Amino acid sequence: MSTLAINAPALGATRYKEVKSAILAALAAGEWKGGECIPSEKRLAERFGVSIGTLRKAIDELCAENILIRHQGLGTFVSMHQRDRHFFRFFRIVRRDGDKAYPVVTLIGFKKARASREAAAALGIDSGTRVLQFVNGLALHGKTVLIEHITVPEALFPGLTESKLRNRPNTLYNFYQDGFGINVVETDERVSVALANELESAQLGVEVGAPLLEIRRIAYSYHRSAVELRISRLNTEEYEYIGTRAARDDQK
């Protein structure tokens, strides 16, 4: 078992932050896996040399961030990417009438490459580092409306092949977690306008050069370690993107 611990006591206002950081370090080290129960509050408080109240404040914050989840009478568990509970936290495309649907995903392309400057900067790796790139088409209500261009560091996904990706049994972030121990806990997204290229024209049924909504996402694991760059292009004729605040409010 890991023996990760926090530094000597700091001022009370920051102490729980150190505890939180230590728990995140244990999660990043794989001490507790997705779906597993972490030790009791008493044991963790003893391990980190803090009061139950300080320990609980750190856990409360991790629960609010969907990194941990409490089950009454059972304990506190490491969150997992369950389709029904987490999917719409990260998938923010809805039809203009407000209807939400789970997309049907088709793998269009997969290849090994070297990281471009843009990808390297986003993922915090050196330019030219080996990466995996794949393209997905997402259909809603029977029509492809979104194309995703995804780049991930090859070192984080050893053994990932086109066949494994194509035949995965669950959502992509659930696949990351189950297959590679990578838990996506937050994302940064920026939106802009882009022009459809030939692939997007063919898949989305729009003309080359037609305006599309571009959503640029960086996905992070613990300690804001970047694990994925995703550039999505949306046909907004019938669908729209809802921001992170609206997505969170809708889950309450």
Q: What are the tens digits of pLDDT across the range 15-63?
A: 888 888 888 888 877 788 777 888 888 888 888 888 888 888 988 888 8
165 and 181 in a single domain? The answer is yes
71 and 114 in a single domain? The answer is no
- For residue 58, give its domain range: 12-78
Instruction: Tokens for 69, please give them.
Output: 């989840």
Q: What is the pLDDT of residue 92?
A: 84
Q: What is the pLDDT of residue 8?
A: 42
pTM of the model: 0.75
140 and 195 in a single domain? The answer is yes
Residue 4 lies in a domain: no
Q: How far is CA 24 from CA 29, 183, 224, 243, in A?
A: 9, 11, 10, 27
Q: What is the pLDDT of residue 86?
A: 52
Residue 245 lies in a domain: yes
Radius of gyration of the chain (CA): 20
Q: Which of 78, 101, 118 is where one domain is finished?
A: 78
Rounded Cα gap, residues 29 and 40, in angstroms? 19
Beta-carbon contacts of residue 148 (< 8 Å; ≥ 6 apart): 135, 136, 137, 138, 230, 231, 232
Closest CA to 145 of 85, 99, 83: 99
74 and 88 in a single domain? The answer is no
Q: What are the tens digits of pLDDT across the range 79-129?
A: 776 554 555 567 889 999 988 888 899 999 999 999 999 999 999 999 999
Amino acid sitting at position 18: E
Instruction: Tokens for 89, please give them.
Output: 């936290």
How many domains is the chain partitioned into structurally? 2
Q: What are the tens digits of pLDDT across the range 186-221?
A: 899 999 999 999 999 999 999 999 999 999 999 999
Q: What is the pLDDT of residue 211?
A: 97
